[in-house]
Amino acid sequence: MRIEVLVDVKTTLGEGPLWDVDEQRLYWIDSFDGRVFRSTADGRELRSWDVPQKIGSMALRRSGGAVLSLQRGFHLLDFNTGDVELIHDPEPGLTANRINDGKVDKAGRFVAGSMDTMEEGPNGALYSLGPDLKVTKLDQGIVCSNGPCWSPDGKLFYFADTWSGEIWVYDYDQVTGAVSNRRTFTKIDTSRGGAADGSTVDSEGFLWNAQVYDGKIIRYAPDGSVDRVIEMPVKKVTSVMFGGPDLDILYVTSMAKPPLPRFPGDGVLRGSLFAIYDLGIQGVPEPRFAG
């Protein structure tokens, strides 16, 4: 195994690595600076797009362009023009909230949750944006939504409220997009100041989670037990995704500046996009949004 800095763009809050198998390109975002990045698997041909608000996550559309979770709701991005169009703001009265982490299920729904920007109150919720562009609330009472992903067969949905100290798993209805039977998948050791951030699932059904502020990437077995721990060269790792031509490179985003003063700083590599090679494990292709 080897860890390399792929792109050193010093993202203020790097998030959401996304590998697209059709384009053979890697996308990621800077949540606080409102920017979408794209590069080749090895970090070349760097391009970026500015968006008008803080961005929590993005996914590519089957019809072209991207769907975004911005501070004030769900939007569409046209890569050719750079135009951003509002779809729907599910929380118009909750001005202290913003929409955060999201991914796409096998049926093409974009599932994303909101968060309290001070990361204190349970004011957030989990939403599903359907191909018809209608929004459905799936869960609520969430402080900081993070780490949505599915088991390879799509029947289980993983999700974390970062400061709950747990990653949850739900039963997922692939026909309706409904979640049920929420239970604890695994507990996070928050005594070191770390917490669960972005996640992905590999082809063997193991879950990989970035433990933000603790500088660890942890692979969990399907029963929730710890299978592997990777120590990263920075503490503020934020999310993970497998990509590359063979889906065997683990991309890891990080932040250059913590969102709140109470969180720790980091070293010279802060804000870099990392690539981890030679893990001997493959990911699964990421679906595109059907709307």
Active site residues: 197
Tell whether 15 is in a known binding site: yes
User: 162 φ, ψ to 5°?
Assistant: -45, -45
The C-alpha atoms of residue 29 and residue 7 are separated, in whole angstroms, by: 12
Residue 208's identity, in one-letter code, is W
125, two tokens: 């919720």
User: 191 φ, ψ to 5°?
Assistant: -65, -25
The C-alpha atoms of residue 29 and residue 35 are separated, in whole angstroms, by: 6
The 3-state secondary structure of 238-271 reads: EEEEEECCCCCEEEEEECCCCCCCCCCCCCCCCC
Tell whether 80 is in a known binding site: no
CA-wise closest residue to 182 among 159, 200, 199: 159
Q: How far is CA 212 from CA 30, 190, 196, 253, 284, in A?
A: 16, 10, 6, 10, 23
Tell whether 197 is in a known binding site: yes
Tell whether 278 is in a known binding site: no
Tell whether 100 is in a known binding site: yes
Task: Look at the block and give the residue holding tokens 């299920």.
Answer: 105
CB burial of 177-203 (b: ≥16 within 10 Å; e: otherwise) equals: bebeeeeebbebebeeebbbbbbbbbe
Residue 182's identity, in one-letter code, is R
Residue ranges for the known binding site for substrate are 98, 100
Residue ranges for the known binding site for a divalent metal cation are 15, 146, 197
Residue ranges for the known binding site are 15, 98, 100, 146, 197
